[in-house]
Amino acid sequence: VCQPLDVGVMAPFKRHLRELWLYEEMIDSDDEDPDSVTAKQKRLAMIKRAIAAWDLVMPEIVRGSFEKVLACGPMAGE
C-alpha cells in the first residue's frame, strides 16, 4: 500500500514541528515555572507551532509525494 502523505509529507511536517518545539524550549527561561502555564496556553502554543510547521512544508514536497505514488500505482502501466 502506498502512503504518500505518511512518508512524503507527514515526516517533514513532524520534523519541522519537533525542531520548532526544541527551539522554543531553548529560548524559554529556566526560571519559568512550568505549572504556571495553563492548558489553554499550551493548546494555543501547539496550534501556532503546527501552523508554522505546516508552512515550512513546501508545495513541491506534497506534489512530489503524490507523483511518486501515481508513477508506481495500478494505473501507471496504462
pLDDT digits (tens, 9 = 90+) for 37-56: 788 988 999 999 999 999 99
35 band by pLDDT with thresholds 50, 70 and 90: low
Cell numbers at 8, concatenated: 512524503
- 9, 61 contact by CB (below 8 A): yes
Q: Locate the domains of the chain by residue range.
A: 1-26+48-69
CA distance from start to end of the chain: 19
d(CA 42, CA 36): 11
- Compute the average pLDDT of residues 25-47: 77
